[in-house]
């Protein structure tokens, strides 16, 4: 009974919501206590520091964002890797073309609107270089997209898979953006460790090592250290490792089990089957570490909040829909059973930035230490409020008469 209850909570991403609620409540009742909890140094490390003579403080926030999120992005990368297999959503040019162009719209739309709103609304005095926050609204929360898509379209609707592919590709682009645009000082010599990790895991694959543990225990720490010392965000450590794991012959679908209710037993699927429950539960910690926003008048009325929120809600919807129209004019096809009105709903759902937007926000704020704390609060609030895209999409689907497909 307990296991069944936990699985239901996992399915509805309740642990992330609970962690977010606890963080919001704690930060608004006792911000200093919340801050001390999240930022208190557990220990310091000279070796992991990027600056000589300045030890890196390992705190709860670091453990969640730089270590736990390795698994989060690893599972996302697993889905991307499998989608290129036969039967996968990206297994051919015809299949990949429309999701790819829609994803492009879902990235460029928010960026374009971000700078339009920045020019129109401006930002409070004293905030220098706010344009560096442009990457935040490019993010899409995979878990909540999947949740709301199932509720609105039905689990068997082709739009659900289309949206998941779009969300995963979107976050893959987001990983690249973090690596390229939010790395201040690059020490490329440390990338040799990442290369070594890839060579080792590819050797293990050729030796037909099926257990995922050697890939995780050996490959991930080497890649993590290499990326961290290079200056690239270490949460991406499994991104170069996962594609080299042994995998199934065909893709069974995103986040899917086989028809008898069991998962495939290849290395990639076993990795996901083992770690996804841990990630689902651990998202409580992510919400707790990142969602501590002080909900004052400034947070709700500040232009940064609304620039991020509108860029996500409107920028995603318009960008995905417009680029899908362009794709159709170029002769590209939506999956059977989908029409352009579905793209409006999908575009709105993709505006749920939430988890990934909070993650990108933490990276952006960290790379701009001169910003007042209130800027981080406004950016985070914009990301949190993007959860409203789910209910808005539900109402939109009713208005334009989008039907559920459950069989």
For residues 317 and 345, give the distance between their C-alpha atoms in angstroms, rounded to a whole number.
8
Grade residue 132 by pLDDT with cuts at 50, 70 and 90: very high
Instruction: Mean pLDDT check: name the lowest of 254-268, 304-318, 343-357.
Output: 254-268
Q: Answer for the pair 394, 151: CB distance below 8 angstroms, yes or no.
A: yes
Position 258 confidence tier, pLDDT thresholds 50, 70, 90: very low
Q: Please give the tally of structural domains in the chain.
A: 1
For residue 119, is pLDDT > 80? yes
- Residue with the bigger pLDDT between 94 and 261: it is 94
Looking at residue 407, its pLDDT comes to 67
pLDDT of res. 54: 80
Q: Which residue has the higher pLDDT, 254 or 81?
A: 81
Show Cβ contacts of residue 289 under 8 Å, excluding neighbours closer than 6 positions: 19, 23, 38, 60, 61, 64, 65
pLDDT band of 125, cuts 50, 70, 90: confident
pLDDT at 259 over 50: no
pLDDT of residue 261: 47
- Structural domain contains residue 185: yes
Look at residue 49 and tell me if it is in a domain: no
Q: What residue numbers bound the domain in which 22 lies?
A: 12-39+58-399
Question: What does the pLDDT average to over 159-167?
Answer: 88
Distance CA 176, CA 153 (A): 30
Residue given tokens 């012959």 in the structure block: 249
Q: Is the pLDDT of residue 2 over 70?
A: no
Higher-scoring residue by pLDDT: 216, 8: 216
The model's pLDDT over 30-60, given as tens digits with 9 standing for 90+, comes to: 999 999 999 999 999 998 887 667 888 999 9
Mean per-residue pLDDT over the chain, rounded: 90
Distance CA 60, CA 356 (A): 18
The confidence band for 8, taking pLDDT boundaries of 50, 70 and 90, is confident
pLDDT of the residue at 257: 45
Q: What is the mean pLDDT of the segment spanning 208-218?
A: 96
Question: Distance (Å, rounded) from C-alpha 80 to C-alpha 315?
Answer: 24
CATH number at residue 79: 1.20.1530.10
Q: Quick check: is 218 in a domain?
A: yes
* Predicted structure pTM score: 0.87
Establish if 50 belongs to a structural domain.
Answer: no
Please state, for a pLDDT cut of 90, what percent of the chain lies above it: 66
The pLDDT-based confidence of 255 (bands split at 50, 70, 90) is low
Which of 59-63's residues contact partners 24+ apart within 8 Å by CB, and which partners? 60/285, 60/289, 61/289, 61/290, 61/362
Q: Mean pLDDT throughout 384-404?
A: 95
Phi-psi region of 401 (alpha: psi -120 to 50; beta: other; left: phi over 0): left
Selected residue with higher pLDDT from 179 and 306: 306
CA separation for the pair 306, 123 (Å, rounded)? 10
Q: Is residue 126 part of a domain?
A: yes
For the segment 58-108, what is each residue's pLDDT rounded down to a tens digit? Answer: 999 999 999 999 999 999 889 888 888 898 877 888 888 999 999 999 999
Does 53 reside within a domain? no
Please state the rounded mean pLDDT for residues 229-241: 91
pLDDT for 253 equals 65
pLDDT at 279: 94
- pLDDT band of 1, cuts 50, 70, 90: low
The residue-averaged pLDDT of 2-15 equals 80
Contact 226, 190 (CB under 8 A): yes
pLDDT, residue 319, reads 98
Residue 125 resides in a domain: yes
| pLDDT score of 350 | 96
Question: Please, which pLDDT band fits residue 254 given cuts at 50, 70 and 90?
Answer: low
pLDDT at position 335, please?
86
Is residue 46, in this structure, part of any structural domain at all?
Answer: no
- The residue that leads in pLDDT, 102 or 155, is 102
């Amino acid at each position: 009974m307990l296991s069944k209850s936990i699985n239901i909570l996992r399915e509805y991403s309740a642990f992330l919501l609970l962690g977010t609620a606890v963080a919001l409540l704690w930060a608004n009742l006792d911000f200093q206590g919340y801050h001390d909890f999240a930022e208190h140094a557990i220990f310091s490390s000279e070796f992991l520091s990027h600056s000589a003579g300045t030890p890196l403080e390992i705190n709860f926030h670091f453990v969640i964002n730089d270590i736990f999120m390795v698994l989060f992005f690893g599972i996302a990368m697993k889905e991307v890797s499998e989608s290129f297999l036969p039967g996968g959503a990206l297994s051919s040019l015809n299949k990949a073309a429309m999701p790819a162009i829609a994803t492009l719209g879902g990235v460029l739309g928010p960026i374009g609107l971000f700078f339009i709103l920045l020019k129109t609304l401006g930002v409070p005095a004293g905030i220098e270089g706010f344009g560096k926050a442009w990457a935040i609204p490019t993010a899409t929360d995979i878990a909540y997209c999947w949740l709301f898509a199932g509720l609105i379209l039905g689990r068997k609707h082709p739009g659900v898979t289309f949206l998941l592919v779009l969300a995963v590709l979107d976050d893959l682009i987001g990983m690249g953006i973090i690596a390229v645009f939010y790395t201040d000082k690059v020490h490329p010599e440390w990338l040799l460790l990442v290369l070594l990790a890839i060579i080792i895991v590819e050797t293990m694959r050729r030796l037909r090592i099926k257990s995922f543990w050697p890939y995780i225990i050996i490959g991930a720490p080497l890649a993590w250290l290499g990326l961290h010392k290079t200056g690239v965000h270490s949460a991406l450590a499994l991104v170069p490792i996962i594609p080299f794991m042994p995998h199934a012959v065909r893709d069974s679908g995103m986040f899917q089990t086989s028809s008898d209710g069991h998962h495939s037993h290849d290395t990639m699927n076993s990795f996901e089957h083992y770690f996804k429950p841990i990630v689902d539960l651990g998202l409580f910690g992510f919400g707790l570490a990142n969602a501590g926003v002080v909900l004052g008048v400034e947070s709700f009325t500040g232009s940064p909040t609304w620039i991020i929120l509108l860029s996500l809600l409107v920028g995603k919807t318009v960008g995905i829909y417009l680029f899908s129209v362009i794709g159709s004019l170029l002769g590209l096809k939506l999956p059977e059973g989908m029409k352009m009105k579905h793209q409006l709903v999908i575009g709105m759902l993709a505006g749920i930035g939430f988890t990934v937007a909070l993650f990108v926000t933490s990276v952006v704020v960290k790379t701009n230490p001169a910003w007042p704390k209130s800027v981080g609060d406004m950016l985070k609030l914009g990301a949190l409020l993007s959860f409203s895209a789910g209910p808005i999409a539900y109402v939109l689907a009713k208005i334009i008469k989008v039907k559920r497909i459950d069989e």
